[in-house]
Chain A
Amino acid sequence: MGCQSSHPSAIPELEEIMQETGFSQASVVRLYDRFQALDKEQKGSLSKYDLQGIGELAVNPLGDRIINAFFKEGEELADFRSFIRVLARFRPVEEGKSKETGRPEPMNSRLSKLRFAFQLYDQDSDGKISRDEMLQVLQLMVGIQVTDEQLVCIAERTIQEADQDGDGAISFEEFATSVEKLNIEQRMSLRLLK
């Protein structure tokens, strides 16, 4: 983390960010520090190269996909707003907050979290996880030690298990159903992002 903490006033659009993401001011400041620490050339936005510089991400099988999630389609740079938008998904869910109709879906709700995870699977953004996309993910995660045939079988089996409407691909609803028991609110939350 940066050795000096930024002053809240140095952060652009602080109020809107807090409003949109629901982060507390302290969290936003902390993340801004991190943003600046990652941004080695001090250009005010992150490039993919900056994120790839994080050592642990290189060994992470999903490293590239995660990095790409921060950048909008075709863009090379990500500003602080986009950076924090992605991280907002991982904020812990607040218990007891009743659903207020008319308010937009909070960024850290279960549905938003699921949508984010779904997007990481669904690279071509057609709204479905096809067999090939599942296969790609499996290859990333398990890849080298296993033959293609085995992976194909597993991918097939996975799709077959989750697919309810028989189209040979997993739609978002089917994905949500298959992870019902997984306690997503806990799994996809980082406690430090209050």
Chain B
Amino acid sequence: MQAKGSRGAPSLGALPFLFIVAVLLGLLPCLQPNPMLVSEAPHYPAVISGSEAGDVTAAPLDVSQAIRPLTNHTSPGHAKSRKAFPVLGIDYTHVRIPFEISLWILLACLMKLGFHVIPSVSNIVPESCLLIVVGLLVGGLIKGVGESPPILKSDIFFLFLLPPIILDAGYFLPLRQFTENLGTILIFAVVGTLWNAFFLGGLMYAVCQISGTGLDHIGLLANLLFGSIISAVDPVAVLAVFEEIHINELLHILVFGESLLNDAVTVVLYHLFEEFANFEQVTVTDIILGFLSFFVVSLGGVFVGVIYGVIAAFTSRFTSHIRVIEPLFVFLYSYMAYLSAELFHLSGIMALIASGVVMRPYVEANISHKSHTTIKYFLKMWSSVSETLIFIFLGVSTVAGRHYWNWTFIISTLIFCLIARVLGVLGLTWFINRFRIVKLTPKDQFIIAYGGLRGAIAFSLGYLLDYEHFGMRDMFLTAIITVIFFTVFVQGMTIRPLVDLLAVKKKQETKRSINEEIHTQFLDHLLTGIEDICGHYGHHHWKDKLNRFNKKYVKKCLIAGERSKEPQLIAFYHKMEMKQAIELVESGGLGKIPSAISTVSMQCVHLAVSQLPPLSSLSKDKEEEIRKILRNNLQKTRQRLRSYNRHTLVADPYEEAWNQMLLRRQKALQLEHKMNNYLTVPAHKLDSPTMSRARIGSDPQAYEPKSDSGNLPIITIDPASPQTPESVEDLKGMSRLPPSPEEDEEGLVMRVKESSSPGTDDVFTPGAGDSPSNQRMMRCLSDPGPQPEPEEGEPFIPKGQ
């Protein structure tokens, strides 16, 4: 962690590091053994941490200086003699556990922060390596102090650190690519892992049998167990490394999918060999049972996940009134799925992934936009912190654990691991390519083989072995750690230059356009049709059947209200529009509009207009001016998102702009009223454009006028509502006034109609029902509070809530 000069002032870069070092030193005395983190050190006096915490922010402390105060303060002790009532007291034991946990997490976050302040280092070395180094340093420091550093206990790892990462991966799994390559992924995961385990186990047994190494006492089964522990590709490590190299999606999903799905195989093999290692003989029944248990574990895990996913989706259907806790449902149900699967010794990872995958489409259709964002950020945050903690602990555990170094065993493990992986990938790819449409090139194969990183799961599994049955546990652990270090450091560091060298295709960072969406669906239908003509029940056929089943039955149950009938294309379109609108707002462009939205809305409007009877020609520039005004106003209405009622205290900046525009409009309207009184000749056509434009802009929000607003103009932007034919005719038949010069300044204005009662205009508010647009708007605005604040003095009241 040298603050090497890079861009920016070196001194400025050094400061965070000094701070970090100081924090580390401040941590030393606080790292006491507690029930969570296993260690055998004597209990430390609690008094110290209070005083030490104060010293942390000063200049970097000398280690010895830190130690001396520790020993000095032990003597006074806690002799509670009769003295005055303590105004200020210290009770560290009371808060020790949460305090230490928080300190560790804080350390992890500060590390992450530190690495990004120094970009030069993190460009060469992947973050995971740096974190392990930090862990090593911290562990070394703790040991140097004389304490025994905590080891990553398996329970904590499997119950708390691993699930967030897996949930994050599963919830945001790119389903389309995953299912397209599912066969390949499964073969790599199942057959590949089996091959690795047996190959490695067998070879290690052979090595152990070589006389002179002192390893003959390790039986075949123990070796096979070791092989199964070390052969599994680790999702955490893969994610950590692959995320930084931005490799193309196919390779990413192949390696990552493999790392996720091999959990079932690992669990089965591990339990199998752990049981059998005690027996001398393995009968055929045992093998058959093992084989069976594989299916039970994997399919059972998936089943549990699916059940929880469906329940979560169903629950989310009713959460429209308490939007605040929606994200919590997602997290809790997924975690319960994981725990339930672990309860039955099923594959927790597969349960987690299955639940995330199943619940996602339905939950996303039901929850509000804000909840969606919350879920996304929470998952990213938790998984990021977890990952960091895991790597740091890996480093610390290396220092802390008991090691037994045996050159033969460890070196041969390393070599055979690599060989097994390469052979496995090559062999399987040769087999798989016969069935794939898009073959895997040798470059792809190389990356897949090279990306088979081992990580903390292997370590934790090794740690779980007990000493009774596995006396060579220490050696196993040492070997596991060596392999992990090798793969993470060597392979992790070199994969990026290799990817560049081999010119492997990188990920294309583009958003999905509506074109792609439409064409994708089009091609799906086309291919399904062709398959049917060929009489072949292929991939597309079953996918189509599943989609139809989903649409007909499942969506109705699990999605609230009108959204259940919304076709995927429309949902996609609206999501896209919403995203663009929000982006527009965020980029601060209240006045600027990306041409896409505006011209389209204009063209949208134009099209609708062209369906109406031909207009008498407006002069070109007048039309342009009207268009410009409409453009501006349509944008502003789109931006109108309701602020939180209960939980945010910050005033919504957009509300300000909105209020101002409303005031402006009101003034303009009053002016208009005066104008209207003089005009008597109805000339309907020219007004229809204005109103139809107002109506048919592409704004997803709809407003209903206040019933007692009298002659106040009503602007309703309700493009997506089901228009009744009558209302369209109504429009045509209305008598209107010619546009006046003032019209240009007024924006969206509706002339007061003689025919219908003011305030309730059925042309503009097609219904108080749950039309899709209203629903959509409700989802947008209905977050989170149950009571809307009516805005006084405004003719525009958001509907609903």
Contacts and interface: CB of A to CB of B under 8 A. Distances in A.
Contact of A161 (B513, B532, B608): B513
B538 A190 contact: yes
A184 B698 CA distance: 31
A66 B516 contact: no
Nearest to A143: B567
Contact of A137 (B515, B522, B530): B522
B567 A142 contact: yes
B139 interface: no
B513 A178 contact: yes
Interface in B386-445: 435, 437-439, 441
Interface in B526-573: 526-536, 538, 541, 544, 548, 565-567, 569-570, 573
B518 interface: yes
Contact of A152 (B528, B567, B569, B604): B604
Given A152-B608, A162-B515, A191 B525 contact: no
Contacts of A188: 523, 526-527
B464 to A, nearest CB: 42
B596 interface: yes
B437 A92 contact: yes
Nearest to B697: A153
Interface in A29-61: 31, 34, 37-38, 51, 54, 56-57, 59-61
Interface stretch (B335-343, B366-374, B656-664, B715-723): B715-723
Interface in A153-183: 153-154, 156-158, 160-162, 178-179, 181-183
B439 A187 contact: no
Contacts of B603: 156, 160
Given A87-B534, A149-B720, A192-B538, A154 B522 contact: no
A87 B59 CA distance: 76
Contact of B535 (A37, A60, A90, A158): A37
Given A51-B533, A141-B522, A156 B604 contact: yes
B696 interface: yes
B570 A150 contact: yes
Contact of A179 (B515, B544, B565, B698): B515
B529 A190 contact: no
Contacts of B617: none
A11 interface: no
A95 B433 CA distance: 11
B599 interface: yes
Category for how many chain B residues contact A = 35 or more
A59 B549 CA distance: 13
Contacts of B532: 54, 56-57, 60
A26 interface: no
B519 interface: yes
B90 interface: no
B529 A57 contact: yes
Interface in B496-519: 508, 510, 513-516, 518-519
B601 to A, nearest CB: 8
Q: Which of A66, A92, A150 has the most CB of B within 10 A?
A: A150
A37 B514 CA distance: 39
A193 interface: yes
Contact of B529 (A37, A60, A183, A187): A60
A179 B722 contact: no
B445 to A, nearest CB: 14
Contacts of A162: 515
A147 B534 contact: no
Contacts of A34: 533-535
Contacts of A156: 600, 603-604, 607
A161 B523 contact: no
A148 to B, nearest CB: 8
A150 B567 CA distance: 12
B720 A150 contact: yes
B570 A142 contact: yes
Nearest to B532: A56
A138 interface: yes
A127 interface: no
A120 interface: yes
Nearest to B566: A145
A181 B516 contact: yes
A130 interface: no
A191 B435 contact: yes
A35 to B, nearest CB: 10
B530 A90 contact: yes
A54 B527 contact: no
Most buried by B among A92, A138, A160, A184: A160
Given A137-B522, A178-B515, A153 B719 contact: yes
B520 to A, nearest CB: 7
A141 B519 CA distance: 11
B570 A160 contact: no
B541 A56 contact: yes
Contacts of A146: 567, 570
B521 interface: yes
A148 B520 CA distance: 22
Nearest to A157: B600
A128 B435 CA distance: 36
A193 B534 contact: yes
A160 B518 contact: no
A64 B516 CA distance: 23
A193 B536 CA distance: 10
B358 to A, nearest CB: 24
Contacts of B604: 149, 152-153, 156-157
Given A149-B719, A161-B515, A183-B438, A62 B600 contact: no
Contacts of B527: 90, 187-188, 190
Contacts of A120: 522, 526
A189 interface: yes
Contact of A182 (B516, B569, B698): B516
A111 interface: no
A150 B574 CA distance: 10
Given A62-B529, A149-B720, A191 B538 contact: yes
A146 to B, nearest CB: 6
A62 B534 contact: no
B607 A61 contact: no
Contact of B531 (A131, A138, A157, A190): A190
Contacts of B565: 145
A190 B528 contact: no
Contact of A63 (B439, B515, B529, B600): B529
A186 interface: yes
Interface in B586-627: 596, 599-600, 603-604, 607-608
Contact of A117 (B439, B526, B573): B526
Given A66-B533, A161-B513, A189-B437, A153 B698 contact: yes
Nearest to A183: B438
A31 B530 CA distance: 12
B609 to A, nearest CB: 11
Closest 4 CB pairs of A and B: A56-B532, A66-B529, A178-B515, A153-B604
19 contacts: A31-B534, A38-B533, A60-B525, A60-B532, A61-B525, A95-B439, A95-B441, A117-B519, A145-B570, A147-B720, A153-B604, A154-B514, A156-B603, A157-B514, A178-B516, A181-B508, A182-B520, A185-B437, A187-B527
Given A160-B596, A178-B516, 6 more contacts: A34-B534, A87-B533, A138-B569, A142-B569, A153-B600, A158-B518
